[in-house]
Amino acid sequence: MAVSEKSSTEPISDLALVERLCIAITSCSADELWVRRGRWLRVRCLIAIGNETVMIVIDHGELSLRHRLPPLFSWDFAIRGTTRAWAEFWQRTPAPGWHDLLALSKRGEVHLEGNLHPLMANLQYFKDLLALPRDGGR
């Protein structure tokens, strides 16, 4: 029987999870692999972690982040999740039902909004991108 990680039982703040996401995405933003995989993608993705929001902007493979968002900012699609959802999703080995964006959506822990075409057309890209905080960016 596997031992669960400590962080799944300890409360974690929305801001700490945002920082974790920002570090992971920033560390891979110049990586040739990510640029190549997203070379046809031009999208603004809002990620909500509890009460905090982050915008991931992908412009022909170039990744950038915006944390402090102005009022009435626009986005193409949003992935809004509870603090628990992201904390569980970013475990090194997430439990069944907490391991995948669509599984989280089915659980009601994550909600997908907006124009979902870019998300669904590039689903593996976004699944891999949003799983980066599991292993520190790689």
The highest-level CATH class for domain 11-133 is alpha beta
Predicted structure pTM score: 0.87
The residue written with tokens 């790689």 in the block is 138
Nearest to 129 by CA among 49, 40, 53, 31: 31
Q: Which two tokens mark 63? A: 């990744």
- Domain spans in the chain, listed from the N-terminal domain onward: 11-133
Per-residue pLDDT of the chain (138 residues), as tens digits, is 343 444 445 678 999 999 999 999 998 887 899 999 999 999 999 999 999 999 999 999 999 999 888 888 899 999 999 999 999 999 999 999 999 999 999 999 999 999 999 999 999 999 999 999 997 544
* Terminal alpha carbon distance of the chain: 27
- pLDDT at residue number 3: 39
Are the CB atoms for 49 and 81 separated by under 8 Å?
yes
